[in-house]
């Protein structure tokens, strides 16, 4: 990065560093070449967020951001991780893929 950054999270996928910003105090986790940014505090609306944003980096040069399911309530200061669990524990969980924007090569 050539400039200083604030209000961001960082994650490493396949030995590449991703810096994602626009919200503060959000949780971040990586699973299957996808970066999940959970909740946080929007620097644009000055309010806590209930969204899950997903950056799919599985295809190099064609990274795509979309939204996952909404949290039951807005929250910031979140810690996240992936917990392996049998699928039957969450049978109705579906990811709603809504294109948000495309980013260039990192």
The answer to whether 49 and 74 have CB atoms below 8 angstroms apart is yes
- pTM summary value: 0.73
Q: What is the pLDDT along the chain (106 residues), one digit of tens a residue?
A: 677 777 889 999 999 999 888 788 899 999 989 999 999 988 888 889 998 889 999 887 788 888 888 888 888 888 888 877 665 555 555 555 545 444 443 3
| Token pair for 70 | 């909404």
CA distances from 75 to 11, 20, 27, 53, 79 (A): 20, 18, 10, 14, 11
């Amino acid at each position: 990065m050539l400039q200083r950054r604030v209000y961001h999270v960082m994650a490493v996928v396949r030995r590449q560093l991703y810096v994602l910003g626009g919200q503060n105090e959000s949780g971040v986790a990586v699973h299957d070449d996808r970066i999940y940014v959970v909740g946080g505090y929007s620097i644009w609306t000055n309010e806590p967020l209930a969204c899950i944003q997903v950056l799919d980096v599985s295809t190099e040069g064609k990274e795509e951001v979309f939204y996952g399911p909404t949290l039951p309530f807005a929250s910031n200061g979140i810690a996240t991780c992936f917990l392996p669990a049998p699928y039957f524990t969450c049978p109705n969980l579906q990811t709603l893929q809504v294109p948000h924007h495309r980013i260039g090569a990192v």
